[in-house]
């Protein structure tokens, strides 16, 4: 039997790691991979043990984009029937922090997948890009929007209109990745960040993620109101009391997730 194209691992307490496993196809995102990713993220988003998620690929590719062979001959109705946009929504809708650990290529849908994550750790030789224009299409998983929001119109336009690849160093300098680390350290560093998040009070983590993401789509006054309400809500949590009392009593907090 063939290896599963997406693997689920538990590298540390509270941390789940999802690994795209089609190295022979540079982790191209076929429908099977997309459905498994959406399914895992939906389940991990709901379970009571997972506090942070690492999403990674293989050494040569995080993901080289949508599976070109699977869509090359498809027509409009077939593309509509596949409903890939719904799977993208499920992936982006995970309420828990998702950290992309990017080695090798993150192109097209692979770059878009990384951009749905909350933190991106990239290896020194990783490369990003939206090369869709070179094969007669445009980004379809949020690339035209998320790249422009992440790096600004003029840099995004340059890469989307030329399909030119972006080195990890350039990506870091323009704000597309959170950290660049030596190649062998990518996964370890992402797990380390996830482990740090996993011991924090989960309600505060969840509302912080929600406020940043919802706020980015809203006018500043609405976003600030959302932030204020989210902060106020946390004052009903046991973890807020525990965190502040522990600080005052000079001891380590014990968070319960309530
Ligand atoms: N879809 C399907 N198969 C792919 C693929 C993809 N996106 N990327 C790589 N592969 C396959 C290759 O066809 C090849 O298969 P065979 O061994 O059967 O020939 C295998 O993976 C290895 O690929 P290469 O020999 O090309 O590997 P490389 O290391 O020399 O190059 C690469 C790697 C630069 C990523 C190159 O494969 C490449 O340019 N891939 C396509 C990148 C791309 O255009 N992505 C955008 C896709 S469209 C999209 O993502 C849009 C959307 O969401 C709507």
Question: At 7, is the secondary structure helix, strand, or coil?
Answer: strand
> Burial, 251: exposed, middle or buried (Cβ in 10 Å; 0-12, 13-18, 19+)?
exposed
**Residue-wise pLDDT tens digits, 192-227:** 999 999 999 999 999 999 999 999 999 999 999 999
Distance separating alpha carbons of residues 205 and 213, to the nearest angstrom: 13
Question: Is the beta carbon of 97 within 6 A of some atom in ligand 1?
Answer: no
Residue of 68, 134, 166 best suited for mutating to test ligand 1, as the one with most atoms within 8 Å of CB: 68
Q: What is the CA radius of gyration of the chain?
A: 19
Q: How far is the CA of 165 from the centre of ligand 1 (A)?
A: 14
Q: What are the tokens at 140?
A: 């379809």
* pLDDT averaged over every residue in the chain: 97
Q: What count of other Cβ atoms lies within 10 Å of the Cβ of residue 166?
A: 25
The domain made up of 5-198 has a fold known as: 2-enoyl-CoA Hydratase; Chain A, domain 1 (3.90.226)
The verdict on whether 132 is a catalytic residue reads yes
Residue ranges of the chain assigned to CATH 1.10.12.10: 202-249
Give yes or no for residue 66 CB within 6 A of ligand 1. Answer: yes
Say if ligand 1 is within 6 A of residue 98 CB: no
Q: Which of the residues 38, 61, 64, 66 is marked catalytic?
A: 66
Q: Sheet holding 127-129: strands in order across?
A: 61-63, 105-107, 127-129, 166-167
* Active-site residue, 14 included: no
Give the pLDDT mean for 106-116: 98
Q: Determine the distance separating the centroid of ligand 1 and the alpha carbon of 175, expressed in angstroms.
A: 25
Q: Which of 64, 106, 162 for mutating ligand 1's site (highest number of atoms within 8 Å of CB)?
A: 64
Task: Characterise 175 by phi-psi region: left (phi > 0), alpha (psi -120 to 50), beta (else).
Answer: left
Flag whether pLDDT at 43 surpasses 70.
yes
Q: To which residue do tokens 């062998």 refer?
A: 184
- At residue 29, the 3 state secondary structure works out as strand
Helix or strand or coil: residue 167?
A: strand
**Dihedral sign of CA atoms 51, 57, 59, 64 in order:** negative
Pocket of ligand 1 contains residue 113 by CB under 6 Å: no
Hey, is 90 helix, strand or coil?
Answer: helix
For residues 52 and 198, is the Cβ–Cβ distance under 8 A? Answer: yes
Q: By C-alpha distance, which of 26, 16, 107, 96 is closest to 55?
A: 16
pLDDT tens for 249-258 read 999 999 999 9
pLDDT digits (tens, 9 = 90+) for 125-147: 999 999 999 999 999 999 999 99
Residue 2 has pLDDT above 80, yes or no: no
Q: Does domain 202-249 have CATH number 1.10.12.10?
A: yes
- Residue 257's pLDDT is 94
Cβ of 141 closer than 6 Å to ligand 1, yes or no, is: yes
* CA of residue 107 to ligand 1 center, whole Å: 9
Look up 43 and say whether it is catalytic: no
Q: In the chain, where does the domain assigned CATH 3.90.226.10 lie?
A: 5-198
- Single out the residue of 121, 14, 107 nearest to residue 60, CA to CA: 107
Question: What are the Cα distances from residue 241, in Å, to 81, 209, 246, 254?
Answer: 49, 21, 8, 11
Cβ–Cβ < 8 Å for 222, 228: no
Distance CA 193, CA 141 (A): 26
Q: DSSP for 177-191, please give it.
A: -SEEE-GGGHHHHHH
């Amino acid at each position: 039997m063939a290896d599963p194209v997406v693997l689920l691992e538990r590298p540390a307490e509270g941390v789940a790691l999802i690994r795209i496993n089609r190295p022979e196809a540079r982790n191209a995102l076929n429908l099977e991979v997309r459905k498994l990713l959406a399914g895992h993220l939906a389940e991990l988003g709901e379970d009571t043990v997972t506090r942070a998620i690492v999403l990674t690929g293989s050494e040569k590719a995080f993901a080289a984009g949508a599976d070109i062979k699977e869509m090359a001959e498809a027509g409009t109705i077939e593309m509509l029937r596949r409903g890939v946009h719904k799977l993208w929504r499920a992936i982006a809708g995970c309420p828990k922090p998702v950290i992309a650990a990017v080695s090798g290529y993150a192109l097209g849908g692979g770059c878009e997948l990384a951009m749905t994550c909350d933190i991106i750790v990239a290896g020194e030789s990783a490369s990003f890009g939206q090369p869709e224009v070179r094969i007669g299409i445009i980004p379809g998983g949020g690339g035209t929007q998320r790249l422009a929001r992440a790096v600004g119109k003029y840099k995004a336009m340059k890469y989307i209109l030329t399909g030119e690849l972006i080195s990890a160093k350039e990506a870091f300098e323009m704000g597309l990745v959170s950290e660049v680390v030596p190649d062998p350290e990518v996964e370890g560093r992402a797990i380390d960040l996830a482990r740090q998040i996993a011991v924090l009070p989960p309600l505060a983590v969840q509302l912080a993620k929600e406020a940043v993401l919802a706020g980015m789509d809203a006018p500043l006054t609405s976003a600030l109101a959302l932030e204020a309400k989210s902060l106020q809500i946390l004052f009903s949590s046991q973890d807020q009391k525990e965190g502040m009392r522990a600080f005052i009593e000079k001891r380590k907090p014990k968070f319960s997730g309530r």
